[in-house]
Amino acid sequence: MSGHAIPRSILHCFAANGLGRYIPQLQRLTVKFCKSRSDSQGVRDYVEHELVDFARRNPSTAIYVKPRRHRPPLLVAEYLCGSWQYVKAADMDCNEIKNWMEFLRTRSGVDILPIYKNWSTKNPSIQGMWHPFSPELESCKKLMTPEEIIKNLHVLSEPESSELTAEEELLDIADKQQHRLSD
């Protein structure tokens, strides 16, 4: 019953990201921490030792450091798609903060939702999805051996339709217009 309340999604990619050049989806990352609280110790260590290297490796991401008094530490990531991701960093050590920063950097920013199916498309086929047990189409001809092709060459070389070609149709239309104009 509760599965019906969870929104579902389809797999999609942002603007063929990686085709041509890669566009990092993380736009802005804010590190909020307290200078005196004990649960901010891991964030303070990360800011002192690791944050500058992280900023150098990711020049496309704006990084803000906001010291706040008497509040728990928080990592806030803002993505190009407009979504925000919050990570409560209380009582985490420097290594955990490093892993969370890497996780936020590599995310696309899209909310994690269950998907409908393992395959999806925005333009479904009219014929339906092909599978190995699909009936053969009537328009498909039986394969012939080279001997059969040579034996039936006069039949195979004839046009399949007795309709006029495009050139003949245009000449016919031009003749009709000439008769109409001359009358």
Judged by DSSP in three states, 102 sits in: helix
Structure tokens given for 148: 């059969």
Tens digits of residue pLDDT in 133-167 = 766 655 556 778 889 888 988 888 877 666 778 88
Tens digits of residue pLDDT in 100-117 = 999 999 998 888 777 777
Total domains present in the chain: 1
Residue 144 lies in a domain: no
Residue 114 lies in a domain: no
Residue 35 lies in a domain: yes
Contact 65, 97 (CB under 8 A): no
Q: How far is CA 169 from CA 146, 163, 173, in A?
A: 36, 9, 6
Residue 124 lies in a domain: no
pTM reported for the whole predicted model: 0.59
Q: How far is CA 181 from CA 48, 160, 175, 177, in A?
A: 90, 35, 10, 6
Residue 71 lies in a domain: yes
Q: Which domain holds residue 70?
A: 2-106
